[in-house]
Structure 1
Amino acid sequence: MKNKKRVMETQKKTREHSLHHIVDDIGAAFGMGAIGGSVVHFIKGTQNSPKGRRFVGGAQAVSMNAPRLFSAFDYTMVYIRKKEDPWNSIVAGAATGGFLSMRQGLAAASRSALMGGLLLALIKGVH
């Protein structure tokens, strides 16, 4: 009976930790994606919306698209490196910035990647 109780407590702690971790990452990913990708998605949303609805279209594009990309890069880095540290988020920010501006050419993508990485480095506070 003790063993079963200990296993249940361990599973409960693991589940609580992972739920907190997921909620925390979703919030961070939304924040970083909204900051890093909001300008690009807002412009695309306004361009693709009819006159009179451009601002609403831009706002909807930002809320739908920006957070997903950062989160995908962040979790990819965690999977590849098998560790969780600020460098994953910094690289994810750089990758997101570069990826969002690839259509504008290599120079623009490089500048955006550099700015995305620097922004995340400032936010995460590299030690």
Structure 2
Amino acid sequence: MAFSISFANVLKEDSASIKNQLIELVRSGKSAELQVFLRDRKSSRSLLTSMFTNASTKDYISLLMMAVTAGNDVIVRQILLHSPNMAETIQLRGRIHSVDGTFVDNVTALWCALDRAHFTVARTLIEVEEDLISSVF
């Protein structure tokens, strides 16, 4: 199904609704819809530097980590492009189940990518971090 309506046409949404829609777009890998959502809902961009608890798994992860664990490089790039603070978004630390089932604290998006062998995504994150570091010097 092609996505054609703009999220800006929605009359009123509360912050919980916006958060849930954003999580669903990231989890489902709907890159075109995510692009429109982030463009039309500039206030939703602050959620890109937030952490969320998955009630069923008890994981504590960011939207970037959600995209990384799915191995979706396009969604990862969109999140980073729209993030109000790219360095903060990449460096967020969470709690997640590794591929072997152990619960691991203090993980980053890069750790998640490497744990799941999503090397293209890991390369994207490393390149962005290198660019951030080189822009400081």
Q: TM-score range by the shorter chain?
A: under 0.3
Structure with the higher fraction of residues in strand conformation: 2
TM-score using structure 1 length: 0.28
